[in-house]
Chains A and B, each alone.
Chain A
Amino acid sequence: MNLKAETLSKIDEVITHYPVKRSATLPLLHLIQEDIGHLPADTSEWVAAKLELEPINVLEVITFYPMFRQKPIGRRHIKVCRTLSCALVGGYKTCATFEAEFKTHLGEVSPDGEVTVDFVECLASCGTAPVVLIDDELHEKVDVAKAKQLSDQIKAEAKKR
């Protein structure tokens, strides 16, 4: 596992938050995923060694929680809320717009490597539906026009790189 020095020091710090090391499993997985972009195959072994657990204790956590991913995704992660309040005001169209804009399908890396579009469940912002989480940023009232605008922005940023 090739982690940044900063990640390693955050890992050592967060373990001290708990009287039982195992509690640091989720925080460690978050930190590794933020550093690498996904959880590589040796994650379970590495975290288990760090927290004095068996690798299966970590693997079963990775496979339970939807936010942890074992494969790389696109550079940006577009999560569209699928649940009722968002669907009632057009969430499915919003999602389809992102898929079309990046010529991709749910859960896949777009051909240009730029994004992965996913449906997720209620993001606790139902009053400003439909909502979309792009990486860490929440976008509210994302109708088709706004979805196109956000897509253009992502494409423009990609061009600059």
Chain B
Amino acid sequence: MPAPAQRRIIFQHIDEPGYTNDIGCYVRNGGYEVLKQAVTRKPEELIDEVKKSGLRGRGGAGFPCGVKWGLVDRKSGKPIYLIVNADESEPGTFKDRYIMHQDPHQLIEGTMISCFANNVRQAYIYIRGEMPHGARILEKAIAEARAANFVGPNILGTNYSCEIFVHRGAGAYICGEETGLIESLEGKRANPRIKPPYFPAVLGLYQCPTIVNNVETLCHVKYIAQHGGAEYAKIGTPGNTGTRIFCVSGHVQRPGYYEFPAGTITMGQLLNDVCGGPLPGRTFKAVIPGGSSAKIMRFGERYKGKRKVGTEMVDYDWGVEDVPMDFDSLGMIGTMGGSGGVIVMDDTVNMVEALANINAFYSHESCGQCTPCREGSLWMKKISSRMVHGQARPEDAALLKSVADQIPGRTICAFGEACSWPTQSFIAKFGDEFKQYSETKKTAKPADAVALI
């Protein structure tokens, strides 16, 4: 079956010739009409639309947005904050960048609607430090929106007021984790907080109830406010509503970003039809489907089991190419949709070297609070790098696995899982390659081989 057509609702104007990131262009294209409508409605109605839409967070965990908003403590009398998570640092993910650089007003409109719905008076956009241009573009866009009375005091003649400020990070991946982000925004090291008790919805920024949502999620909210939750839920499949943006990188002919109704496209269609297949003369070997921490899939392996279709349970027997790219299907076969970052590796890649690259990332980025994560990520890096640059032993595979197995479930934040899943899954799927690596190293590499570590 050929791939379905792209449906761009969030990326509608990305790369559109003549489309600029100023407010004039946005308004000419119908911008801020949804906000004008929204502020005439009851906030609870807007929250209901989001609940009905089934929207799941696009930052990585896929948590239902309406449910998250429902958990906010509205009785404490404390102010409620909203933080836009624009830290975009999960390797393989690069969608929020384009929204912020090319269509910043879409994000600001979505943010203001979400703030109004949740009675938020102060929002912050936490953008990663390595996007100085993005920060300036957002600051300019906020100033424009403020001048037009879409942000600031008494928005559109109502007595509702809300400010947005841009806050820049400074190069630490862990600031993407929502409680690490909050600590960072408070001016501290980004050490994630322990939950319970520090659920952001109750004890977030300055110990006040706080909503943290991803950039893309808030753009979906704008679309939902415009078309209604029920209409939105018709896009995609039940449980995986709306569209999904895939960021494809690595060894394909046409890497890039592609937006499809959720659950309608398979991995094979995405990589072969949409991205043009493998590079000339090569074959696909492995793919990471949802950011670098998602468990790896090996081409040639099969996934079998029973799944729910409508009300019935049916058998499935899938190859990698057959797996639908939605949260539930990817979860069912033991990996995850995560942030939508799809990293493709072909037959030129040695898995030990690829893992060593990933391990170097996690070891560099552990915040260091929890011993299993700090020490474990360091040892996984040391062992895998030693295998590549020093001596490799057949028993290293088991050693790596034993380190990885001691991390998850024993840490403050989900980074513990994120750093152990690559090692666990690489060893589970490519264990032979790890055991044979000392032999592999004896044969000389082709001259054009790329170094991964």
Contact = CB atoms under 8 A, between A and B. Distances in A.
Nearest to B255: A127
Given A30-B168, A85-B249, A88-B249, 15 more contacts: A26-B168, A30-B129, A60-B188, A61-B187, A61-B189, A66-B171, A67-B171, A83-B357, A85-B91, A87-B451, A87-B453, A92-B452, A93-B451, A121-B173, A127-B94
B172 A65 contact: yes
A85 B89 CA distance: 13
Contacts of A20: 186-187, 206
A88 B358 CA distance: 12
B143 to A, nearest CB: 13
Contacts of A79: 130
Contact of B91 (A30, A61, A83, A138): A83
Interface in B68-112: 88-94, 96-97
Interface in A28-68: 29-30, 51, 57, 60-61, 64-68
A161 B200 CA distance: 51
User: How extensive is the interface on chain A, given as a class?
Assistant: 35 or more
B167 A87 contact: no
B352 to A, nearest CB: 13
A104 interface: no
Interface residues of B, number: 57
Interface in B334-368: 341, 343, 345, 349, 354, 357-358, 360-361, 364-365, 367
B139 to A, nearest CB: 11
Interface pairs A-B: 3 shortest CB-CB:
A25-B187, A65-B170, A126-B249
B248 A127 contact: yes
Interface in A83-108: 83-85, 87-90, 92-93
B451 A92 contact: yes
A85 B187 contact: no
B99 to A, nearest CB: 12
B93 A124 contact: yes
